[in-house]
């Protein structure tokens, strides 16, 4: 049994997947979808799937990933490049698993929001360099961004990363309930 905020008692969820309350009170809303647990679950599953898949594509090939990072012209050579090529996929994998399970979810959402801002900036930087070098428009810029999903148009990647950024922000700033993995033991709320 768990004790509700108003003092009433209710039965604990029978499965390991239970609702956990945190943040603002249930009546306080920032943006209506942020209080919709299914919208937030969809955001979590989207980010978990994308970043787990991307990480698994890069973990086994750090030298190739380092070459893809080098093409952006932000980090040329040296230990920082190789360290980034080794560490970033593991961070993505950790964040994906975290969002899937609901453990350390806010921290993972914050990391993914920051990572996506960096992705947006470096993709825009590389796209601008390609546009200047080849004299083409953004709609024609086509390259392998290094994300693990293969070559794509830059404008599509910018839109995708923007969607991922806002999905991470939605998870990070959601005030209501979330579906998370936890023990089936009742929790005292209040």
Residue 180 lies in a domain: no
pLDDT of residue 73: 79
> What token pair was written down for 189?
């709320």
Pair 106, 172: CB distance under 8 Å? yes
Distances in whole angstroms, Cα of residue 133 to Cα of each of 111, 115, 126, 128 = 33, 27, 11, 9
Per the domain annotation, does 73 fall within a domain?
A: yes
Q: Which residues pair with 89 in a beta bridge?
A: none
Would 17 be classed as within a structural domain? no
Structurally, how many domains does the chain consist of? 1
- Tell me how crowded residue 169 is: count the other CB atoms within 10 A of its CB: 17
Q: What is the pLDDT along the chain (190 residues), one digit of tens a residue?
A: 555 556 555 554 433 333 344 444 444 445 566 667 888 889 999 999 999 999 999 999 999 988 888 888 788 888 989 999 999 999 999 999 999 998 888 899 999 999 999 999 999 999 999 999 999 998 898 888 888 788 889 999 999 999 999 999 999 887 654 555 554 444 544 4
In a domain, 15, yes or no: no
- The answer to the question of residue 97 being in a domain is yes
**CA–CA gap between residue 187 and residue 67 (Å, rounded):** 49
Does this model's pTM top 0.85?
no
Residue 76 counted as domain residue: yes
According to DSSP, the residues that pair with 17 across neighbouring strands are 181
Dihedrals phi, psi of 174, to nearest 5 degrees: -65, 130
How far apart (Å, rounded) are the C-alpha atoms in residues 133 and 181? Answer: 50
Q: Is residue 147 a contact partner of residue 54, using CB atoms and an 8 Å limit?
A: yes
pLDDT value for 174: 78
114 domain-assigned: yes
Question: Does residue 144 lie in a domain region?
Answer: yes
pLDDT of residue 120: 94
Candidates 181, 184, 180, 131; CA nearest to 158 is: 131
Q: 95: domain range?
A: 29-174
- The CA distances from residue 179 to 17, 18, 19, 155, 169, in Å, are 6, 6, 5, 33, 17
């Amino acid at each position: 049994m768990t004790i509700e905020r108003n003092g009433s008692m209710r039965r604990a969820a029978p499965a390991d997947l239970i609702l956990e309350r945190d943040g603002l009170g249930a009546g306080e809303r920032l943006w209506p979808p942020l209080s919709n647990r299914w919208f937030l679950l969809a955001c979590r599953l989207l980010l978990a799937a994308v970043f787990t898949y991307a990480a698994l594509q890069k973990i086994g090939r750090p030298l190739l990933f380092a070459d893809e990072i080098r093409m952006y012209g932000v980090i040329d050579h040296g230990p920082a490049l190789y360290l980034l090529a080794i560490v970033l996929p593991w961070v993505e994998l950790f964040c994906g698993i975290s969002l899937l399970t609901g453990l350390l979810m806010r921290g993972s959402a914050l990391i993914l929001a920051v990572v996506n801002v960096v992705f947006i900036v470096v993709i825009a930087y590389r796209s601008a360099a390609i546009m200047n070098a080849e004299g083409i428009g953004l709609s024609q810029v086509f390259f392998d961004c290094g994300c693990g999903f293969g070559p794509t148009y830059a404008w599509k990647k910018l839109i995708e990363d923007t969607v991922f950024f806002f999905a991470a922000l939605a998870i990070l700033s959601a005030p209501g309930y979330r579906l998370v993995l936890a023990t089936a033991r009742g929790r005292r709320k209040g």
